[in-house]
């Protein structure tokens, strides 16, 4: 089969030629520079799912780690439990049904097909909100915030808490297209998001993000894109650039600085690999489901142990359930996007290096910024750090549960934070 | 989890081979363990293992190409794809097996672990015993071509008094050596095991050589100064002075006052630290995580190994040689256990003088600098690092895999480096 074994692009092209409603937007053949917004439905061929299961079943395992914690990486018992669940209990079609129950679209922006979920609230004065996932996430991590954000009255809120919600897949992630040219860093994605909101007819909107989504969202703010009236973050990406300049006086500041130092020292390998050698690590991730799963599970300590407990002890934390965890990994597998997603780190590292080398501070933010610190985050940013980056911080709160994948793990709490953070912006409009 | 696996685990295969009485991965005389602590060893991989490797390569799912024209995103798809096609179709592992089995190989248990080694004695009476240690992503495969010139110098442009008896062990967790099941197998412990090995072989006067991990292992031997060790030769020396290390950690700039050669070394190191050190960071902190890739995907393993040397080992090495080495990692399923060596040293760089405690070495140290190495160690730095530097030479060709790329040249360097130690007694 080698040599005839298709690359992802070949597979997509085949589907398109066959006219199937598939991973690809239905109208790929339509003219370029098409500004149309096309409906999208997920329907993965059964053969792809069968192939995945066959590969998981044929896994050749390494020997067990030599320690009894995560200090050598994803533990064998955790990954074996995940693999067992993946082949014996997980049903991708359920995830597909969850996605297809929501209005999904594709539109080409700046030469790349952008997939997005777009749920309009039935409340007239809902505030449009574009929310961006991160790595190793996807729109899957945001699905359970859709109902509380768009239909607040059914979820403990008031009609005036409603949002019209736009959830795009980052370029190179999920059902969005893979950039084939250089330059798709978070800044370019930020411009694409502004175009997306414009194309959807939203002239006054807010944005939200954590992880890579925080970077994109913050750059929308710094670029002062038209229509953006404020944004909310649950990760402070500036720490990556200026972490050594942030205050370390209070106990909370020292704890956060220690956590960041530990991350740089011990938890940064995945970041460095994707930022410098994305293609190299991709060969295994495209070829081996367990390699992909391990790479995705080995993110931050808090989420790793929560996920590990879900599989090994059957005790998920919040909404980080076995099904949603495997849904997300399966999405990466079936779309074959591990390489293009990893490449986004290479692009962002290049952009960051150029920004630092320029010696110029980033443009000031002119819209209100809200921030929520979740306790399990890699570095749980204290208010002083957030204020150092955003002197006119409009909203800050520290909540008592949730971690790096806040929207995924605690969708209700997360939604309540967004309602609170953006409340003042509604009256202003 | 037998229900999960369509493919046998390595242990299963070994057990099957042993039960069948085959001379397989296992030493043939394991059943007679205890009668002789040094057991002959022959490589004989079951055909099913080779068929399974080919099947996996054929079923590879590849990523789309990189978005650059150079190697800056990692292994480029097009040339790699062709090498993988060759690996899965035309490449013949049995040739590597024959090369290995043409040499005397043994296994002996040291410190609770089976250690595989090649031992070739010279026909010359006063040959100097030499233990050569490979590195990552290498194996004994990288050392095969130096065996002739070192043991049989008169057939390779040398003289009878240049002869060595060579001992080439597989490091713990590498190749046909056992995989440690507990922590602690760092270069210090490997060095002690090597001293025990040489003693067990009856050598009471010997030298040691290595590049890559072979350098810290040889250096640890020199620090420990076991009875019989006369000196070491290394081709990846730990010469980086503390102030240069600090500048590198800070992302530059270079300290003031560097000579031209020192500035050139700094520039190479800066490039390496900024662009090419991620593999070490991953294996140093998360060997198990990358281990799933290395155990389950042949192309994942090959890409990880190829990325060393900037992604195109075929530029400087023979394609079959490179694939022999990758196939050895695959068939022994040692990608993960090999990666753990980085974790064992907690990320201590093998090229920083302080991290490698070079000032604690009083035995003679010889250094050869190959131009294609990660950095060209300047003599000034080497003299600061090693107070008993008996030999320093910069040669004009060869790189990180010196023994593999330039076996004759490395052999002549080893002869020159140790010549005075032979005379000393």
pLDDT in tens, A343-358: 999 999 999 999 989 9
Min distance A1 CA to chain B CA atoms (Å):
5
Q: In what order do the strands lie in the sheet with B164-169?
A: B38-40, B105-110, B113-120, B164-169, B128-133, B206-210, B229-234, B365-369, B389-394
- Angstrom CA distances, A306 to A261, A409, B5, stand at 22, 10, 27
Q: Hey, is the C-beta of A74 within 8 angstroms of any chain B C-beta? A: yes
Asked, for residue A93, whether it belongs to a domain, the answer is yes
Q: Hey, is the C-beta of A83 within 8 angstroms of any chain B C-beta? A: yes
Q: What is the DSSP letter of B161?
A: G
Q: What is the mean predicted confidence (pLDDT) over A200-223?
A: 98
Enclosing domain of residue A180? 46-428
CB of B172 within 8 A of CB of B182?
Answer: no
Q: Going residue by residue through chain B, which has 425 residues, state the pLDDT in tens, using 9 for 90 and above.
A: 233 333 333 333 333 333 333 334 444 334 334 445 999 999 999 999 999 999 999 999 999 999 999 999 999 999 999 999 999 999 999 999 999 999 999 999 999 999 999 999 999 999 999 999 999 999 999 999 999 999 999 999 999 999 999 999 999 999 999 999 999 999 999 999 999 999 999 999 999 999 999 999 999 999 999 999 999 999 999 999 999 999 999 888 999 999 999 999 999 999 999 999 999 999 999 999 999 999 999 999 999 999 976 656 667 788 999 999 999 999 999 999 999 999 999 777 899 999 999 999 999 999 999 999 999 999 999 999 999 999 999 999 999 999 999 999 999 999 999 999 997 55
CB of B75 within 8 A of CB of A284?
Answer: no
d(C-alpha B286, C-alpha A72), whole Å? 5
Q: Do A72 and B182 touch (CB under 8 A)?
A: no
If asked whether residues A136 and A69 sit together in one domain, one would say yes
In sequence order, the 6+-apart residues with CB closer than 8 A to the CB of A324 are A140, A141, A143, A408
Q: What count of other Cβ atoms lies within 10 Å of the Cβ of residue A314?
A: 10
Q: What is the DSSP letter of B399?
A: B
State whether the Cα torsion B47-B51-B53-B54 is positive or negative: positive
Q: Do B88 and A2 touch (CB under 8 A)?
A: yes
* Res B314: pLDDT: 67
In sequence order, the 6+-apart residues with CB closer than 8 A to the CB of A325 are A82, A307, A310, A311
In this complex, which of A7, A75, A283 lies closest to B303 when CB atoms are compared? A283
Q: What is the mean predicted confidence (pLDDT) over A220-245?
A: 95
* Domain ranges for chain B: 99-240+354-423
If asked whether residues A197 and A257 sit together in one domain, one would say yes
Neighbour-count burial for B381-393, b at 16+ CB within 10 Å, e otherwise? bbebbbeebbbbe
Min distance A294 CA to chain B CA atoms (Å):
6
Class of domain B99-240+354-423: alpha beta
Catalytic residue among B212, B307, B320, B324: B212
If asked whether residues A56 and A181 sit together in one domain, one would say yes
Could you give the 3-state DSSP secondary structure of residue B75?
Answer: coil
Q: What count of other Cβ atoms lies within 10 Å of the Cβ of residue B251?
A: 11
Query: Rounded to an integer, what is the distance from CA A426 to the centroid of its chain?
Result: 26
In this complex, which of A269, A291, A336 lies closest to B282 when CB atoms are compared? A269
Phi, psi at A206, each rounded to 5°: -120, 170
Q: Which residue has the tokens 């098409």?
A: A34
Nearest by Cα to B221 from B236, B209, B211: B209
* Res B316: pLDDT: 77
CB of A59 within 8 A of CB of A48?
Answer: no
Catalytic residue among A161, A211, A302, A348: A211
Q: How are the residues of chain B apportioned to helix, strand and coil, as percentages rounded to the nearest 5?
A: 50, 15, 40
Return the higher-pLDDT residue of A113 and B23: A113
d(C-alpha A329, C-alpha A307), whole Å? 12
CB of B188 within 8 A of CB of B356?
Answer: no
Give alpha helix (H) positions in B250-318.
260-275, 278-285, 287-296, 298-306
CB of B176 within 8 A of CB of B41?
Answer: yes
Phi, psi at A282, each rounded to 5°: -70, -30
Peptide bond into A75 cis (omega under 30): no
Segment A159-198, tens digit of pLDDT: 999 999 999 999 999 999 999 999 999 999 999 999 999 9
If asked whether residues A192 and A314 sit together in one domain, one would say yes
- Examine the residue annotation and report whether B86 is marked as an active-site residue of this protein: no
Show which of residues 164-183 on chain A sit within 8 Å of chain B, judged by CB atoms: 178-182
- Examine the residue annotation and report whether B91 is marked as an active-site residue of this protein: no
Q: Do B285 and A74 touch (CB under 8 A)?
A: no
Neighbour-count burial for A138-168, b at 16+ CB within 10 Å, e otherwise? bbbbbbbbbbbbbbbeebebeeebbbbbbbb
Q: In what order do the strands lie in the sheet with A228-233?
A: A37-39, A104-109, A112-119, A163-168, A127-132, A205-209, A228-233, A369-373, A395-398
CATH of the domain at A343: 3.40.50.1820
Count contacts between A and B (CB, < 8 Å): 224
Asked, for residue A3, whether it belongs to a domain, the answer is no
Pick the residue of B288, B331, B335 with the most A CBs within 10 A to test the interface with A by mutation: B288
- Angstrom CA distances, A373 to A112, A113, A129, A167, stand at 33, 33, 20, 22
- Angstrom CA distances, A77 to A68, A93, A296, B183, stand at 11, 26, 16, 18
* Res B346: pLDDT: 78
Longest dimension (CA), chain A: 63
Phi, psi at A50, each rounded to 5°: -65, -40
Asked, for residue A34, whether it belongs to a domain, the answer is yes
| Average pLDDT of the residues of chain A | 92
Asked, for residue A1, whether it belongs to a domain, the answer is no
Q: What count of other Cβ atoms lies within 10 Å of the Cβ of residue B350?
A: 24
Min distance B58 CA to chain A CA atoms (Å):
4
* Res B207: pLDDT: 98
Joined tokens for residue B268: 């190479």
* pLDDT(A109) > 60: yes
If asked whether residues A326 and A298 sit together in one domain, one would say yes
Q: What is the DSSP letter of B245?
A: H
Min distance A6 CA to chain B CA atoms (Å):
7
Q: What is the mean predicted confidence (pLDDT) over A36-54?
A: 97
**Which chain A residues contact residue B300 at CB under 8 A?**
283-285, 287-288, 291
Strands B389-394 and B365-369: parallel
d(C-alpha B45, C-alpha A2), whole Å? 23
Strands B164-169 and B206-210: unpaired
- Angstrom CA distances, B186 to B66, B180, B192, stand at 36, 11, 10
Phi, psi at A38, each rounded to 5°: -105, 135
If asked whether residues A207 and A123 sit together in one domain, one would say yes
Q: Do B336 and A62 touch (CB under 8 A)?
A: yes
Pick the residue of B293, B310, B312, B343 with the most A CBs within 10 A to test the interface with A by mutation: B293
In sequence order, the 6+-apart residues with CB closer than 8 A to the CB of B94 are none
* Res A33: pLDDT: 61
Joined tokens for residue A385: 């750090």
Q: How much of chain A, in percent, has pLDDT values that exceed 70?
A: 92
If asked whether residues A26 and A163 sit together in one domain, one would say no
If asked whether residues A35 and A79 sit together in one domain, one would say no
* Res B26: pLDDT: 42
- Examine the residue annotation and report whether A211 is marked as an active-site residue of this protein: yes
């Amino acid at each position: 089969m080698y040599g005839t074994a298709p690359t992802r692009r070949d597979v997509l092209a085949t589907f398109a030629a066959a006219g199937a409603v598939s991973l690809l937007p239905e109208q790929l053949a339509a003219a370029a520079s098409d500004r149309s917004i096309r409906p999208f439905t997920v329907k993965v061929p059964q053969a792809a799912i069968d192939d995945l299961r066959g590969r998981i079943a044929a896994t050749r395992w390494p020997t067990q780690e030599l320690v009894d914690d995560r200090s050598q990486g994803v533990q064998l018992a955790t990954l074996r439990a995940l693999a067992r669940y993946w082949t014996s209990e997980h049903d991708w079609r359920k995830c597909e049904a969850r996605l297809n129950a929501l209005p999904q679209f594709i539109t080409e922006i700046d030469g790349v097909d952008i997939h997005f979920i777009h749920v309009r609230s039935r409340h007239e004065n809902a505030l449009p909100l574009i929310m961006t996932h991160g790595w190793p996430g996807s729109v899957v991590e945001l699905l359970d915030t859709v109902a509380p954000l768009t239909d607040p009255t059914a979820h403990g809120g008031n009609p005036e808490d409603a949002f019209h919600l736009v959830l795009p897949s980052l370029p190179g992630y999920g059902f969005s297209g893979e950039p084939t040219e250089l330059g798709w860093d978070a800044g370019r994605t930020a411009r694409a998001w502004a175009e997306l909101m414009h194309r959807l007819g939203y002239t006054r909107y807010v944005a939200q993000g954590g992880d890579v989504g925080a970077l994109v969202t913050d750059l929308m703010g710094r670029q002062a894109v038209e229509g953006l009236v404020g944004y909310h973050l649950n990760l402070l990406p500036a720490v990556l650039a200026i972490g050594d300049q942030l205050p370390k006086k209070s106990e909370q500041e020292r704890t956060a600085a220690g956590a960041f130092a530990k991350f740089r020292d011990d938890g940064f390998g995945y970041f460095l690999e994707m930022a410098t050698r994305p293609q190299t690590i991709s060969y295994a991730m495209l070829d081996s489901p367990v390699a992909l799963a391990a790479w995705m599970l080995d993110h931050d300590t808090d989420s790793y142990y929560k996920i590990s407990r879900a599989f090994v002890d059957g005790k998920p934390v919040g909404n980080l359930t076995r099904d949603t965890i495997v849904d997300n990994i399966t999405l990466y597998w079936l779309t074959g996007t591990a390489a293009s997603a990893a490449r986004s780190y290479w692009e962002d590292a290049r952009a960051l290096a150029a920004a630092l080398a320029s010696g110029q501070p980033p443009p000031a933010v002119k819209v209100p910024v809200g921030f929520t610190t979740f306790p399990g985050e890699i570095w749980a940013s204290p208010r002083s750090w957030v204020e150092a980056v955003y002197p006119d911080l409009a909203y800050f709160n520290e909540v008592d549960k949730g971690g790096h994948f806040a929207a995924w793990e605690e969708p209700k709490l997360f939604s309540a934070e967004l309602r609170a953070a953006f409340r003042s912006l509604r009256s202003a409009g | 989890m037998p229900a999960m696996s369509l493919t046998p685990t390595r242990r299963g295969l070994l057990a099957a081979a042993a039960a069948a009485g085959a001379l397989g991965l296992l030493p043939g005389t394991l059943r007679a363990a205890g009668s002789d602590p040094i057991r002959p060893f022959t490589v004989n991989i079951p055909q099913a293992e080779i068929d399974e490797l080919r099947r996996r390569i054929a079923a590879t799912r590849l990523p789309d190409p990189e978005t650059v024209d150079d190697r800056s995103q990692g292994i480029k798809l097009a040339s790699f794809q062709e090498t993988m096609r060759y690996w899965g179709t035309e490449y013949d592992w049995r040739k590597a097996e024959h090369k290995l089995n043409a040499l005397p190989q043994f296994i002996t248990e040291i410190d609770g672990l089976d250690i595989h080694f090649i031992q070739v004695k010279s026909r010359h009476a006063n040959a100097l015993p030499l233990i050569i240690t490979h590195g990552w992503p290498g194996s004994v495969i990288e050392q095969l071509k130096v065996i002739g010139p070192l043991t049989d110098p008169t057939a390779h442009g040398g003289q009878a008094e240049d002869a060595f008896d060579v001992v080439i062990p597989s490091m713990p967790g590498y190749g046909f050596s056992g995989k440690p099941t507990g922590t602690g197998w760092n270069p210090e412990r490997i060095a002690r095991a090597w001293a025990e090995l040489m003693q067990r072989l009856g050598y009471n006067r010997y030298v040691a050589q290595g590049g890559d991990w072979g350098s810290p292992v040889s250096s640890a031997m020199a620090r420990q100064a076991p009875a019989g060790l006369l000196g070491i030769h290394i081709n990846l020396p730990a010469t980086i002075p503390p102030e240069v290390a600090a500048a590198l950690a800070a992302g530059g700039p270079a300290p003031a006052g560097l000579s031209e050669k020192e500035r050139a070394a700094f520039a190479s190191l800066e490039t390496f630290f900024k662009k090419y050190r991620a593999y070490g960071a991953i294996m140093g902190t998360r060997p198990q995580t990358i281990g799933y890739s290395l155990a389950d995907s042949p192309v994942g393993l090959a890409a990880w190994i190829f990325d060393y040397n900037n992604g195109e080992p075929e530029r400087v090495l023979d394609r079959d040689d490179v694939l022999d080495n990758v196939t050895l990692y695959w068939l022994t399923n040692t990608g993960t256990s090999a990666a753990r060596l980085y974790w064992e040293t907690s990320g201590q760089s093998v090229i920083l003088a302080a991290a490698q405690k070079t000032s604690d070495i009083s035995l003679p140290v010889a250094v050869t600098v190959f131009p294609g190495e990660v950095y060209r160690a300047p003599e000034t730095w080497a003299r600061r690092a090693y107070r008993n530097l008996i030999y320093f030479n910069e040669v004009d060709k060869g790189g990180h895999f010196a023994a593999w790329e330039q076996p004759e040249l490395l052999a002549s360097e080893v002869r020159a480096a140790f010549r005075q130690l032979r005379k000393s007694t």
